Amino acid sequence: MNQQPLLTPVKLGDYELKNRVVMAPMTRDRADNPDFAPTDLHVQYYAQRASAGLIVTEGSQVSPQGMGYVNTPGIHSAAQVEGWKKVTAAVHARGGRIFLQLWHVGAVSHPDFHGGALPVAPSEFNPNTKAYTPAGVQKDTVAARALTTAEVQQVVADFAQGAKNALAAGFDGVEIHGANGYLIQQFLRDSSNRRTDQYGGSVENRARFLFEVVEAVAKVAGAGKTGLRLSPTNTYNSPADSDSRALYDYVIGKLNGYHLAYLHLRDAAGKVDDPKQVADVTGHYRKIYEGTLITNTGYDRDKGNAAIESGRADLVAYGVPFISNPDLVERFRDGAPLAKADSNTFYSPGPKGYTDYPALQTA
C-alpha cells in the first residue's frame, strides 16, 4: 500500500512528528478525586493512543475559577502536576508527543463549583446551557459576573503559570483553548463582551485578552511549544459575533507574527448561511494563516488524506474515532474498520468506555 499523506512526518514547532494524525482534546470527566488530578486511568488512556503524531489532552483548568465540568483535571496544583507526570512519562515511553490544553471555561460553569460564588465572564453573561455539577446532576447555568480589569490580568497570569506547570509535568508543549465558547471566545465575541475598558469595544480590544494570553504562555513555553485552538463559526456555549468573518480575519492575520507551533481550527459543524460567518473555516483561513495548520471536525481517513494532499491543512485532528480506536493510526495504515464509540460512556466514571476499547490483534 502506498504511504498515505496522513502517515508522513511533519515539522510542528520545535518537533518533527512521526505522522500527521492528531488526537483532539476531549473532556472525559475521569479525575474523580478531591485534587482533580490525573489518575492511573489517565496514564493508561493516553499511553494507549501514543501512536498519534501528537496528542492534545483534554482541557485542564488553569485555576479553580476556570472549572465548569465535574471531575476535569487541572494544572494549577502540585498534585495535578504529579499526576500528569505519570501520563507524559507513559506517552514518551511509547514514543509519543503530548501537549496539554490550557483551559478556562468562564461563564460555562455554576456556583456549585465555586462555593456559591458566581462564575466569571467578560461581562454579565449567561450561556443558557446546562452545567453538570459536583452534585452529579445537571443544573441551568446562571448569569456570570464581569471580571474586573485586575482580575483579567490575573487570569492571563494563571494561563502562564499553567504553561509553566505543564512543562514541569513533562509535556512537550501546550495548546491554549480559545474555542467552543469558553472564556477566551467570550472575550472575542461582542455577543458576550460588552466591556468598556481596554478589553472591550473594538475588535482589537476584544482580542487583547487572547493576545495577552498567547504572549504570556509563549514567553514561558516558547512559541515553538505553544499552539492555539479556535472555532470561528462554532456557536457552542456563546452566540456568534455580529461579524465573525471580520473578527477572525483580524485575529488569525495577527497570529502570523507570533510564529506559534500551530493553529488548530474547528470547521463549522453544520450549514452556515450568514455571510458574516465563514462557512469553510479551514479553507478560508489557510489562505490567511502562514504557519502550521491543524484542521478538525468530521474527518475520516479518506477526507484526512485528501486534506493533507491538497494542502488544505498540515495535520488532521480526530476526536471520537480516538475514543473507540486507541490504535487509530494503525487502523488507518492498514485500512482496517473502525470500532464505534459508545456515547453513553463519554463522561461516566471508570474504565468502561475509556480504557477498555481493544486494539486490533496484529499477526
Question: Whole-prediction pTM value?
Answer: 0.98
Angle at Cα 233 formed by Cα 229 and Cα 236, nearest 5°? 80
Q: How far is CA 267 from CA 187, 260, 329, in A?
A: 20, 20, 22
Q: Select from 32, 157, 20, 22 the least CA-distant residue to 102.
A: 157
Tell me whether residue 330 is exposed, middle or buried, using C-beta atoms within 10 angstroms of its C-beta: 0 to 12, 13 to 18, 19 or more: middle
Kindly tell me the sign of the dihedral angle through the C-alpha atoms of 327, 313, 56, 67: negative
Catalytic site includes residue 347: no
Gap between the Cα atoms of 252 and 230, Å rounded: 9
Q: Which residues contact 3 (CB under 8 A, 6 or more apart)?
A: none
Residues 6+ apart with CB under 8 A from 342: 324, 353
The CA distance from 278 to 233, in Å, is: 6
Q: Closest by alpha carbon to 60, among 72, 49, 77? A: 72
Q: What are the mean pLDDT values of the chain's consecutive 10-residue runs (363 residues total)?
A: 87 98 98 98 98 98 98 98 99 98 98 97 96 90 98 98 98 98 98 98 98 99 98 93 97 98 94 91 98 97 98 98 98 97 96 97 55
Q: How far does CA 57 lie from the centroid of its chain?
A: 8
pLDDT value at residue 362: 55
- Give the cell for residue 132: 453538570
Residue 234: how many other CB atoms lie within 10 Å: 22
Which residues, other chains included, contact 273 with Cβ-Cβ below 8 Å and sequence gap of 6+? Answer: none
Q: What is the pLDDT of residue 72?
A: 98
The HSE-up count of residue 133 (CA atoms within 13 Å, CB side) is 17
Q: Residue 14 has what pLDDT?
A: 97
pLDDT of residue 353: 98
Please provide the distance, in angstroms rounded to a whole number, between the alpha carbons at the two ends of the chain: 17
Tell me the domains of the chain and their CATH numbers.
5-345 (3.20.20.70)
Paired strand residues for 98: 55
d(CA 305, CA 76): 38
Q: Are residues 267 and 282 in contact, defined by beta-carbon separation less than 8 angstroms?
A: yes
What gap in Å lies between CA 176 and CA 219, rounded to an integer?
A: 13
Query: Residues 182, 199, 289, 347: which is the catalytic one?
Result: 182
